[in-house]
A and B are shown apart, each in its own frame.
Chain A
Amino acid sequence: EVQLLESGGGLVQSGGSLRISCAASGFPLRSFAISWVRQAPGKGLEWVSTISPDGTTTYYAKSVKGRFIFSKDNSKSTLYLQMSSLRGEDTAIYYCVKEGYCTSTYCYEGFHIWGHGTTVTVSS
């Protein structure tokens, strides 16, 4: 079964740092892009970052660029989001998401499998 399990969320002070993790199982991590999507309390979904299947390319939302670093360890099937200079507006549930819905012939763009999320709260 394809699964993504986030961990590492918690309470951190404004300006502080936190690393959240995503353990992937049930699929070859080096074959799929993975993204982080967050949802602030009572708000909509916001894309945060995407890492390419081989881990060599990362994309970031403007709101986190320069503060967040997305990395992966294929040998451990684990992904990491290192967050620094945290702000109140970073408070959210962070979802780890496997991209690519695959049929028998092709993989299409899309956020296919979502984890349950980990909550990050930044206090001032």
Chain B
Amino acid sequence: QSLLTQPPSASGSPGQRVTVSCSGSSSNLGKNPITWYQQLPGTAPKLLIYNNNQRPSGVPDRFSASKSGTSASLAISGLQSGDEADYYCASWDDSLNGWAFGGGTKLTVL
């Protein structure tokens, strides 16, 4: 069981906005920043969001994120077929003394 909980799947049509949630606890999201990763099929993951809501250079502003307490969400607007991927949240967990990943959300573009 992952310490961070994500829905296993999400979907949307091209152009729509979709959100992916990530729920944690006081030992991870309650104290530490969240990061988000995109894993396109057959490739290594890529950092999508750091420090709760910051985008690395090169990540389109269609991707946004927020965190409140022990919950967080990733939003993708203007959905494109190329956004079809697995999305993971991650945060340091003080009880685990290690990184915790969510189970991942498979995004399907209809």
Contact = CB atoms under 8 A, between A and B. Distances in A.
What class of interface size applies to chain A in its complex with B? Answer: 20 to 34
Contacts of B33: 108-109
Given A45-B88, A45-B101, A47-B100, A112 B56 contact: yes
Contacts, number: 66
A7 to B, nearest CB: 15
A117 B42 CA distance: 11
A74 B11 CA distance: 45
Contacts of A37: 45, 99, 101
Nearest to A62: B96
Nearest to B93: A47
Interface residues of B, number: 27
Chain B, interface SS category? strand
Contacts of A45: 37, 39, 45, 88, 90, 101, 104
Nearest to A100: B50
Interface in A7-51: 35, 37, 44-47, 50
